Chain A
Amino acid sequence: MSCYVIGIGGTGAKCVEALTHLCAAGMLPRENLYCLFVDPDRSNGSLGRAKITLGQYQDCSELQLGDKTEVFGTKTSIGDPHVWSPFTGKQQPNLGDFFEYATLEGRVDKSAQLFDVLFSDNEKKTGLEMGFRGHPSIGAAIMARTVSLSKTEPWKTFRNKVSADTTAGQQAKIFMFGSIFGGTGASGFPTIARLIRNELRLHEVELVKIGGVLLLPYFSFVPPSEKKELRAVSENFLMNTQMALQYYQSRQKQHDIIYLLGEANPTSVQYCLGASEQKNDPHFLELYAALAAIHFFTGKELKKGYAMIARQESDYVKWLDLPDEKNGNELKKHLIHLARFAFAYLSVFFKTWEAVRKSGGAYRAPWYIDYFVKDGGRLERAAVEAKLDQVKHYCESYLLWLANLAASVGTKTTVQFVNYAAFAESKKHGDRNVIQLRPQFLEKEFGNLALPEEKERPNDLAKVWERMSEGKIDARGAIGLGKFFNALYKVCAE
């Protein structure tokens, strides 16, 4: 089986980011995941962060950790180009130009009149380089005209891969992430699904499953009042959502399964039109979205009907509220395990490795001698440095993502997942709070990363050091640096 994921718009990209972290935590081991991003605003900040995270994940997944290790166990590939935009090659696209409205108007064509009925002047003339500005009607028209599975990349490769799967008799599962209330996600989600469905040949219908998650409004913003330009308006989100849901219920039958996610306490985010400034913090709802993808990819049978889950207390989100068969414990095990690994690596092992490299005295860190001198003597130094740096960058991204989920800045909901204060802190940047990693982690909190806190275990990090120094971790199948990371990951689970 192959898994395909399409992140549509900024929210879609953030969900791919969450899915990437779940893959890193071993939630989708030994699967092939092909990722596509769809966004007319290629410089969107949330999209940029998702791409970086995916790239960091791919670097880490090159570590040869052995077959039995689930961490970084999903093989991922990303479309080329990484982000598909309907505006390739056009500098300042607008809807009017795109449909050659001036030409239509000159011919006194009926289609020009229809165009006038459907779109206001403002919608026709506004530049779309920063997305569809909360207007799915614009996005749907453009997407339907530009997405071509047989002509343009990365759709061509995507189509070929799906064909290869079905020709080999394998199932291909396609999952989409998008918001129902915005511009890009709301327009791309049904349109792309329809285009894919239309392309399927008879023998493929049974083998190709299409699923997706739609996020209902979960954030709001206050735009500057003086500007009158075309833009998303969060007051319209609920109305847009209502209309869209009616559409999905009555007309949209392209998906085999759709997951709907909503949040009663919307997060307040800073308004921005698009581009790199549109970089909203990760939100716990995106974790739910990623879990929906895992459910879709790993579910043996897609059951018909409707299922609903909700959390126990409206103001709190706990592990218990997460949808897994073990009351959130399975997910907790994976995410906390990876958090401990990232914490230990960043706060102790990477720093020690750097210090030994600069000033010597390796005898003080027996694990360094065992894994980097005795065992890793044949490894090329530059390659080792590059790989350790790559893992560091991924670990930073992961902890920052986790901290943002837990901190839930701008919402009334308290997320009780992780004791993020152990490794991150909230700092005032202008008029908003930003979560960033602490320069020095609170090492005594290492044993208490999961909430609710249990008894204090201040020596846990020293135990990890001791176990690593024993050199007794069974890392069969791991090669080179993979032995070190395999051992550290296993020790952090104990």
Chain B
Amino acid sequence: MKHAFSLAGMFVVAVVFYLAFVLVLEGQWLLPQRVIPVAGVRLDQWLESFKMWAGMGIAAAFLASFLWYVVAQIVYRVNNLSDAATRVVWFLFMLIPALMATAGSIFTRQAQAGMTWAYVFYFLNSLLCYYVATVFFSPSSHKYTPLLASALRPSNWIPYSANK
């Protein structure tokens, strides 16, 4: 139950990021005012391209957080400090959304102006999505592995236990 709750939580974070950030905040408010596509490309066509790559970035973030959860829970079943040194692994999984954001930055239709905003949002969306998902839904044995998680995550907020 606990695992289902955590994995569902990661999915919800990804969905919220896509809906709130990609579709609404960036797709409707921020980017239309800042981006001027190259000749022959309409703004709505450029935005569609942006949303697709941004969505893939968030999907990659969800995949990375999901894999992190599975690996941390199954491979790193720890009972000592040295085996629990998983911060490097957590950073390595961060490469998945980072690579997807890079791919998005390369393959999105080009623009005359405002392209930097798109790059920033690709990275921000995917990395932040991975970060938030792992801060709040990492397995309890690794719950403070994400940077600053000990300050951000309430110590016992997951409503289920390992023995239930």
Contacts and interface: CB of A to CB of B under 8 A. Distances in A.
Contacts of B144: 362-364, 366, 369
Interface in A288-325: none
Interface in B26-48: none
Nearest to A347: B79
Interface string B133-164: 00000011111110001100001101001110
Interface stretch (A41-49, A266-274, A466-474): A466-474
B112 interface: no
Nearest to A375: B155
Q: Is the interface of A mostly helix, strand, loop or mixed?
A: helix
B85 interface: yes
Given A363-B149, A366-B140, A467 B162 contact: yes
Interface string B110-130: 000000000000000000000
B8 interface: no
Contacts of A465: 78-79, 141
Nearest to A494: B163
A116 to B, nearest CB: 70
B71 interface: no
A374 interface: yes
A373 B144 CA distance: 13
A352 B161 contact: no
Contacts of B158: 470, 472
A466 to B, nearest CB: 5
A463 B139 CA distance: 12
Contacts of A352: 80-81
B6 to A, nearest CB: 11
Contacts of A462: 77-79, 141
A365 interface: yes
Contact of B163 (A363, A443, A467): A467
Nearest to B73: A466
B84 interface: yes
A318 B156 CA distance: 41
A366 B81 contact: no
A244 interface: no
Contacts of B86: 364
Interface residues of B, number: 24
Interface in A246-292: none
Contacts of B161: 467, 470, 472
B20 to A, nearest CB: 29
B162 A466 contact: yes
A370 B151 CA distance: 11
A211 to B, nearest CB: 41
Nearest to A465: B79
A365 B81 contact: yes
A439 interface: no
A494 to B, nearest CB: 5
Contact of A356 (B77, B78, B81, B156): B81
Contacts of B87: 363
Contacts of B155: 366, 369-370, 374-375, 471
A369 B78 contact: no
B140 A469 contact: yes
Nearest to B138: A366
A443 B80 CA distance: 11
B151 to A, nearest CB: 10
Nearest to B87: A363
A156 to B, nearest CB: 51
A449 to B, nearest CB: 15
B140 A470 contact: yes
Interface in A440-467: 443, 459, 461-467
Contacts of A466: 77, 139-141, 162
Interface in A327-352: 348, 351-352
A36 B78 CA distance: 45
Interface string B67-110: 00000000001111100111100000000000000000000000
A361 interface: yes
Q: By CB atoms of chain B within 10 A, which of A375, A462, A465, A470 has the most? A: A470
A443 B79 contact: yes
Contacts of A375: 155
Contacts of A356: 81
A355 B81 CA distance: 8
A461 B143 contact: no
Nearest to B163: A494
A469 B150 CA distance: 12
B162 A463 contact: yes
Contacts of A472: 156, 158, 161
A361 B163 contact: no
Contacts of B79: 348, 443, 461-462, 464-465
Contacts of A362: 144, 150
A229 B77 CA distance: 62
A159 B155 CA distance: 51
Nearest to B158: A470
B80 A348 contact: yes
B78 to A, nearest CB: 6
9 contacts: A348-B79, A351-B80, A363-B150, A366-B140, A366-B155, A373-B150, A463-B163, A466-B162, A494-B163
Interface of B: 77-81, 84-87, 139-145, 149-150, 155-156, 158, 161-163
Given A364-B81, A470-B156, 13 more contacts: A351-B81, A356-B81, A362-B150, A363-B144, A369-B144, A443-B79, A459-B77, A461-B79, A465-B79, A466-B141, A469-B143, A471-B140, A472-B156
